[in-house]
């Protein structure tokens, strides 16, 4: 772990500033490396550690991630249909946000160790985690201890989007993985995407993380 922490400190942070909203503050997003994501996860207790890894490889919005149930999975495919918005369970923000995503079997095995309550990422009382209560006292301090400037939950989603784009994944595929509401005309020309279209792009990110963090679970999955 010590070696990973040193790697995380040495890795240069890549950040970008998003346009400032009228009357608002400028938001800075950090593009995280695999070493940094793993280092953050290793400093956290469960379920926060697995939540960080899940966000990094799925690109879900935090409200979508905290709203998933075990019943949403089938053959390592997650059906995203709901979100938690302002404390209430609701449907996803748009029809395009409803999507099916393949989940790496090794990560799935780790998630299953969290328990079998109704909600995958739940509090001690069995309710979905509160995003603010998870970020401020847990995720953000862990990142700060490592010298990582974390803008917020969206950094994990932004990181995946950037990695996929830089890897040459078609913009339509990236858009559908992330459940973006708006796509341009050029994207609409692309054939309708299916779950199989997401397997290879997401597996590249999962493999990059699994080599560093949950490789020990690979033997468990293989033997199972």
Cβ atoms 70, 116 nearer than 8 A: yes
Residue 183's pLDDT is 61
As a whole number of Å, the CA-based R_g of the chain is 17
Enumerate residues 6+ apart whose C-beta is below 8 A from 158.
29, 30, 31
Residue 119's pLDDT is 97
CA–CA separation, 69 and 128 (whole Å): 10
CA–CA separation, 113 and 1 (whole Å): 21
Residue 197's pLDDT is 73
pLDDT in tens, the chain (224 residues): 444 434 333 344 454 444 444 445 556 788 999 999 999 999 999 999 999 999 999 999 999 999 999 999 999 999 999 999 988 999 998 888 999 999 998 899 999 999 989 999 999 999 999 999 999 999 999 999 999 999 999 999 999 999 888 888 888 888 999 998 766 644 554 456 777 777 777 777 777 766 555 544 444 444 44
Half-sphere exposure of 142 (CA within 13 A, CB side): 20
CA–CA separation, 129 and 66 (whole Å): 6
pTM: 0.79
Residue 112's pLDDT is 94
Enumerate residues 6+ apart whose C-beta is below 8 A from 83.
61, 63, 64, 67, 89, 90, 91, 92, 93, 97
Residue 93's pLDDT is 86
Buried b (16+ CB within 10 A) or exposed e, 188-201: eeeeebeeebbeeb
CA–CA separation, 115 and 103 (whole Å): 17
Alpha-carbon distances, residue 66 vs 5, 17, 174, 219 (angstroms): 27, 26, 21, 28
The CATH code of the domain at 28-223 is 1.10.443.10
CA–CA separation, 77 and 79 (whole Å): 7
């Amino acid at each position: 772990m010590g070696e990973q922490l040193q790697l995380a400190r040495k890795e240069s942070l890549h950040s970008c500033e998003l346009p400032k909203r009228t009357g608002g503050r400028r938001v800075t997003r950090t593009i995280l490396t695999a070493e940094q994501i793993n280092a953050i996860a290793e400093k956290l207790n469960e379920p926060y550690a697995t939540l960080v890894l899940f966000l990094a490889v799925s690109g879900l919005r935090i409200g979508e991630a905290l709203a998933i149930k075990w019943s949403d999975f089938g053959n390592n495919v997650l059906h995203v249909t709901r979100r938690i918005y302002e404390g209430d369970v609701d449907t996803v923000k748009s029809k395009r946000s409803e999507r099916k995503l393949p989940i790496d079997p090794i990560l799935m095995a780790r998630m299953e160790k969290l328990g079998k309550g109704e909600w995958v990422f739940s509090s001690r009382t069995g309710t979905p985690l509160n995003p603010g209560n998870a970020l401020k006292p847990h995720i953000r301090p862990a990142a700060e201890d490592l010298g990582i400037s974390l803008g917020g939950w969206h950094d994990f989603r932004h990181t995946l989007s950037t990695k996929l784009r830089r890897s040459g994944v078609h913009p339509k595929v990236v858009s559908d993985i992330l459940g973006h509401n708006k796509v341009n005309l050029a994207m609409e020309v692309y054939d309708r995407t299916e779950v199989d279209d997401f397997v290879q792009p997401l597996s590249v990110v999962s493999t990059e993380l699994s080599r560093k963090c949950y490789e020990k679970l690979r033997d468990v999955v293989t033997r199972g």
